[in-house]
Amino acid sequence: MATKKRCSVRLLVFGASLRDGSMNDRLASLAAAVVEEKGGSVERASMKDFECPPYDLDVEVSKGLPAGAQALHDKLVATDGFMIASPEYNASMPGILKNTIDWVSRFRPQPFNGKQAFLMAASPSMTGGKIGLWSLRQPLEHLGARVYPDMFALAQAHHAFDASGRIADSKLQNWFETTIECFIDLVEASKHYPHLKKQWVEFLGERPDEETTRVEMGETAAAV
């Protein structure tokens, strides 16, 4: 149940695993339920919606941006922030997720810029996939997303859920809920105070000539 009245906050929530029965997808479902309990609304998606071929500039030039990238772009534009539950593969993020981020980074305006983000992971390991989230934070921050400082990693996730899909450990469930509520508060604040957005976003590696948008400016920087 919502604890207070909010202005509308809409969040994209997805798990970054392709497999059926994904623990990260279960965690994403739980996060979506908590967002709604706390008064937000949810755009629920799956990594399958965002699958893209391997990034290739030649393909981009000849065929344009793929449907999976377009789908993530459109959902980012239509929401106030996003929450990803990502598996950890070899102490990093899944390649398919990084590949989709790379494709989506080619849109202008670039849709990660200025979005609030919350990162989660579920893993059978004792660390819960936290190391992978540090690697996911890096490209998102580079692209101007405001990644929430606290990240949630569900260790031993294969034993962690109860029959109703909640986290069986009530203290951990409470930690999860209160952290998400704080995140929603920040997303709401960012709607009232748009200057919370990063003001300068550089796209490294692009040619610094006039034809290329090298820097995207926020409102404060643009006013100078």
Ligand X SMILES: Cc1cc2nc3c(=O)[nH]c(=O)nc-3n(C[C@H](O)[C@H](O)[C@H](O)COP(=O)(O)O)c2cc1C
Write out the residues near ligand X by the rule CB under 6 A.
Answer: 17, 19, 22-24, 87-91, 123-125, 129
Q: Shortest distance, CB of residue 137 to ligand X, whole angstroms?
A: 16
Q: Which is nearer to ligand X, 124 or 139 (CB)?
A: 124
Give the distance, in angstroms, between the CA of residue 60 and the centroid of all CA atoms in the same chain.
Answer: 23
Q: What is the DSSP string of 12-48?
A: EEEE---STT-HHHHHHHHHHHHHHHTT-EEEEEEGG
How big is the chain, counted in residues?
224
Provide the minimum distance between the beta carbon of 25 and ligand X in the complex, in angstroms, as a whole number: 6
Nearer to ligand X, 129 or 144 (CB): 129
Burial class (CB in 10 A: 0-12, 13-18, 19+), 14: buried
- With respect to ligand X, which residue has the nearer C-beta, 88 or 181? 88
Query: Is the distance from CB of 209 to CB of 216 less than 8 angstroms?
Result: no
Residue 101 or 153 having the CB closest to ligand X: 153
Q: What's the min distance (Å) between Cβ of 161 and ligand X?
A: 11
Q: Work out how close the CB of 17 gets to ligand X at its nearest, in angstroms, rounded to a whole number.
A: 3
